[in-house]
Amino acid sequence: MDELTEFRGNLLDWFSKHRRDLPWRRTADPYAIWISEIMLQQTRVAAVIPYYERFLERFPTIDALACAEESELLAHWAGLGYYYRARNLQKAAQAMRAHGGFPTTYAEIRRLPGVGDYTASAVASIAFALPHAVLDGNVLRVLSRVDEDATNIASLPGRKHFAQLANAKLDGTRPGAFNQAMMELGATVCLPGNPQCLLCPVARLCRARASGRQRELPVKLVERRSVEEHRTVFWIERRGSVLLWQREASSRLMPGFWELPEQAHVSGLLAGRKLGSFRHAITFHNYRFDLVETQPPDAIGSCRWVALDTLASLPLSTVLRKAKRIADRRPIRNESAVAGTNG
């Protein structure tokens, strides 16, 4: 038996024996399954159960929901929160009523108000046995651990990657049970901080368990938006030397590297001429530097004059190296800039 067949078989066998008895698992009615999936979108299983039962008792069909008074609908939802979900349910029920019943394809289900990829896959697979894999936090965790896959689950490419993986693993003959089994495994065994590997039906096939990396997975790196910043550095020459400052040897960032001065490093700077601009990115900062050539200032603070012909042997920051390439391309050397005597 190949690994994938064994994985599906072990998982489905385990699910048939250990699945929790939940009210929406006792029905094949797409309407009831859809109601449960909408309720479960932002609410825990235990909290949903009484609401689900009361709601279906009062609104047992598409027609009953479509024709309900909004005040009564919201009264039956009160306590579940996120009331837009109840309003979307009714809008969807009214659309179904107008179109002759519950939609039977993934695309039609996905178009219902309040239904995203996850809910459409869950309803399509559980109610209609259509081969669409669900992807929620539980499934992502199981997938990343079983395959020891460190792709970032918080990134868009990462989500696409795991969606493909989930569909590749899906048992097309029993997609509804398979999807529920994956979610159940994540919710009850493959727990975020404390995976119960000894109880896991796919432990023999789990690469993270074999390497002991279960707790390191999945990888979730929240992408931060980059910050744009505009800065000016000065190119100041005097008799074959250029004015620079050196980072402390104890600096966390590039210790001992040489940098070009900015306004704060010197005093008495005269207006100069702009030689060019360049970009430089550090972690989440996108800098745009203007390089301005000017004459030696009144006071050079902690800067030093460094001979131009020694630069090649010194540790220069990337910003300085980029600036130097622009300075080296100057069409006409500014003679006045080398005539100062400060420092």
Residue pointed to by tokens 């690469």: 207
Residue 220 and residue 154: Cα distance in Å, rounded? 5
Is 328 strand, coil or helix? helix
- Report the nearest approach of ligand SF4 to the CB of residue 97 (Å): 43
According to the binding rule CB under 6 A, does residue 182 interact with ligand SF4?
no
Query: What are the Cα distances from residue 116, in Å, to 91, 135, 179, 272?
Result: 15, 11, 16, 57
Contacts of 252 (CB under 8 A, 6+ apart): none
CB atoms within 10 A of CB 188: 14
Q: Which residues on neighbouring strands pair with residue 138, listed in sequence order?
A: none
According to the binding rule CB under 6 A, does residue 219 interact with ligand SF4?
no
Name the one range near ligand SF4 by CB under 6 A: 166-174, 202-210, 235-243, 312-320: 202-210
According to the binding rule CB under 6 A, does residue 209 interact with ligand SF4?
yes
Active site (annotated) includes residue 37: yes
According to the binding rule CB under 6 A, does residue 189 interact with ligand SF4?
yes
Binds ligand SF4 by CB under 6 A, chosen from 112, 127, 146, 233: 146
# chain residues binding ligand SF4, by CB under 6 A: 15
Binds ligand SF4 by CB under 6 A, chosen from 8, 76, 132, 145: 145
* Contact present, 59 and 68 (Cβ < 8 Å): yes
According to the binding rule CB under 6 A, does residue 214 interact with ligand SF4?
yes
According to the binding rule CB under 6 A, does residue 265 interact with ligand SF4?
no
According to the binding rule CB under 6 A, does residue 131 interact with ligand SF4?
no
Name the one range near ligand SF4 by CB under 6 A: 193-201, 259-267, 272-280, 321-329: 193-201
According to the binding rule CB under 6 A, does residue 8 interact with ligand SF4?
no
37 vs 184, beta carbon nearer ligand SF4: 184
145 vs 238, beta carbon nearer ligand SF4: 145
- ∠ Cα 15 20 21 (to 5°): 115
Residue 124 and residue 25: Cα distance in Å, rounded? 14
According to the binding rule CB under 6 A, does residue 142 interact with ligand SF4?
yes
**Catalytic residue (choose from 37, 184, 237, 259):** 37
Binds ligand SF4 by CB under 6 A, chosen from 126, 208, 236, 320: 208
Contacts of 125 (CB under 8 A, 6+ apart): 131, 132, 133, 134, 175, 176, 178, 179
76 vs 145, beta carbon nearer ligand SF4: 145
* Contact present, 182 and 250 (Cβ < 8 Å): no
Residue 233 and residue 259: Cα distance in Å, rounded? 9
Catalytic positions: 37
The residues of the shown chain that bind ligand SF4, judged by CB under 6 A, are: 142, 145-146, 189-190, 195-197, 200, 202-203, 206, 208-209, 214
